[in-house]
Structure 1
Amino acid sequence: MIVALHSRLVPGHEEDYDRDHARVPDDLAEAFARHGIRDWRIWRDGLDVFHLVECDDFVAAMTAMGREPANDSWQQVIDRHVEGFSGGDGDFSGWGLRRVFALSAQVG
């Protein structure tokens, strides 16, 4: 499964956000792998941040990550930079951008 997410940064935190993502902690990467998150790519345009998450089951993975000490530590670092996620009301089933088009589906 691939999930696209959108978040927005706190103004003035762009460079700190980028710096903090130069390398995520190894224990966080290991927790992602344990819960079926194979890749998490991030692009930023000003304050807008776009994420592409490749995982087995996004809702299950994010729910499990909520119980991970590595994620708690990471959130203490990164939350100060992020205003929030689109659809981010705590119910992960509502997260994610709506897919509009895929060239591969058309020509595939």
Structure 2
Amino acid sequence: MRIALHTMVRADRSDEYQGARQEVPEELIAAIRTAGVSEWTIWRSGTDLFHLLEVEDYPAMIAAWENLPANIAWRAPMAELLEVVHGYSAQGATASSLPVVWQL
């Protein structure tokens, strides 16, 4: 599955966000891969963050992450840095992702 998401960093916290993304814990990276994610890219334009994930099964990934200590530890500081925090719901493949409007 290819999932596109949109979040927004707080304007006054963008430098902190950039720094935090340079230090993603290895335990979290391993959990991301174990949950079936083969690629996750985030682009930033001002305060807008655009995510593109290649994942085997997005709802299964969310379920696997729900109570994962590494993910819980990561979400707390991220929530302070983000203006718009994606809920990463299990319905994300339909309800929370950006819809495709055109593809070549």
Scaled by the length of structure 2, the TM-score of the pair is: 0.88
Instruction: Find the residue that maps to 2:3 and give its secondary structure.
Output: strand
Given that 2:9 and 2:83 are in contact with CA atoms closer than 8 Å, whether structure 1 keeps it comes out as yes
Q: Structure 2 unaligned runs (5+)? A: none
Given that 1:8 and 1:84 are in contact with CA atoms closer than 8 Å, whether structure 2 keeps it comes out as yes
Given that 1:5 and 1:85 are in contact with CA atoms closer than 8 Å, whether structure 2 keeps it comes out as no
Q: In the aligned structure 1, how far is the partner of 2:20 from the partner of 2:85?
A: 18
Deviation at 1:69, TM superposition (A): 0.6
Q: In the aligned structure 1, how far is the partner of 2:73 from the partner of 2:89?
A: 21
1:26-65 counterparts in 2 under 5 A? 26-65=26-65
Given that 2:7 and 2:84 are in contact with CA atoms closer than 8 Å, whether structure 1 keeps it comes out as yes
Runs of 4+ in 1 over 6 A off after TM superposition: none
Deviation at 1:63, TM superposition (A): 2.1
The count of corresponding residues between Structure 1 and Structure 2 is 101
Deviation at 1:100, TM superposition (A): 1.0
User: How many percent identity over aligned positions?
Assistant: 32
Q: Structure 1 unaligned runs (5+)? A: 104-108
Instruction: Find the residue that maps to 1:43 and give its secondary structure.
Output: strand
- Show the counterpart of 2:10: 10
- Show the counterpart of 1:91: 89
Scaled by the length of structure 1, the TM-score of the pair is: 0.85
- Show the counterpart of 1:106: none
Q: In the aligned structure 1, how far is the partner of 2:18 from the partner of 2:62?
A: 22
Residues 5 and 39 of structure 1, relative CA distance in 2, 3 Å threshold: same
Superposition RMSD in Å = 1.5
Deviation at 1:40, TM superposition (A): 1.0
Q: In the aligned structure 1, how far is the partner of 2:70 from the partner of 2:4?
A: 23
Instruction: Output one character per residue of 1:56-83: Cα deviation in whole Å (capped at 9) or x when no partner.
Output: 0111101211111110111122111112
